[in-house]
Amino acid sequence: MPGIGRILTLAAAIALSPGAIAAGKSHQVVIEGIKFVPERIEVAVGDSITWVNKDPVPHTVTNAAKKIESGTIDPNGKWKYVVRRKGDIDYVCRFHPGMRGTIAVK
Amino acid sequence: MRNASITVFAIAALAAGAAYAQNPSDPQIAGIVVTANQIDIDAGKLAKSHTKNKEVQGFANQMIKDHTAVNKQAVALAKKLKVKPAASDTQASLKKGASENMSNLKKLKGKQFDKAYIDHEVDYHQAVLDAIDKTLIPSAQNAELKGLIEKVRPAIAAHLDHAKMIQSKLGG
């Protein structure tokens, strides 16, 4: 029977091994020129998206129905969201009518 | 309202005319940018306290938020570049026009106020956009200052579209 120390070592090795937990990919959406770029992004469940605000004005990433709300993303600010479910998510900027984006979750 | 339109027309004419007469220096451009933003912040604050229309309220909040953010960056850039915002005829004219607009708006209430505020915002953002294209971007010497104005332009265009959308809802 393996000793407790060996079990712990084995558990640590599994936890630290790359790929032991399937980490999602990282994606980026740039906010620039009062637009989300790209406007449509395809991702998988578990992936993360970071919005980077390169505009001189604040923005939000919002889908009220799906309770997605970044809060104010100031100029040069960022906001990260991890996708948990399949299906398209349409979002807007609460401050600027006409600013729309879509997260297509495969 | 008519007075407000005349004032804005004067601003646009002056801003455009400046391009032909004498191009503003970078310190003067910084002064114009800071003043132009502050004017719209002040008008937004007045609208916020006067209007009961939800869309006008939302627009006023956006103007305060956006122009405050732009001014923060303009002041920080001027400091970084060691450019001291300087006075100019355009800046003086902007201030005069703003003062007339505020006096006019303060006399109005309800729907009359909303319409006058939004009509002026449409004219003002159009005038600022024209000044950006015809005077500020072509005259700016420092690349970072020019870059900031270029970055601000889409926001001004979006404000103009938003104001026009509300204007059409408020009716002629």
Give the mean model confidence (pLDDT) for residues B1-9.
50
Lowest mean pLDDT among A22-31, A86-95, B120-129, B144-153: A22-31
- Residue-level pLDDT at A97: 85
E strands present in B11-164: none
E strands present in B25-131: none
In Å, how far is B161's CA from the nearest CA of chain A?
9
For A14-64, the pLDDT digits (tens) are: 444 444 455 799 999 999 999 999 999 999 999 999 999 999 999 999 999
- How far apart are the C-alpha atoms of A84 and A66, rounded to whole Å? 11
For B67-121, the pLDDT digits (tens) are: 999 999 999 999 999 999 999 999 999 999 999 999 999 999 999 999 999 999 9
- How far apart are the C-alpha atoms of B172 and B167, rounded to whole Å? 8
Please say if the pLDDT value at position A1 is more than 70. Answer: no
- Residue-level pLDDT at A19: 43
Contacts of A54 in chain B (CB under 8 A): 151
Q: Tokens in use for A56?
A: 């001189």
The burial class, CB within 10 Å (0-12 / 13-18 / 19+), for B154 is: middle
Question: Does B157 sit within 8 Å of A58, measured CB to CB?
Answer: no
Q: End-to-end alpha-carbon separation of chain A, Å? A: 45
DSSP A18: T
Residue bearing the bigger pLDDT, A63 or A8: A63
Task: Please name the helix (run of DSSP H) or strand (run of DSSP E) that holds residue B70, with its range, or none.
Answer: helix B54-81
Complex ipTM, two decimals? 0.84
Contacts of A35 in chain B (CB under 8 A): 154
Question: Does B66 sit within 8 Å of A34, measured CB to CB?
Answer: no
Q: Which of B69, B73, B158 sits opposite A96 (nearest CB)?
A: B158
Q: Tokens in use for A79?
A: 């906001």
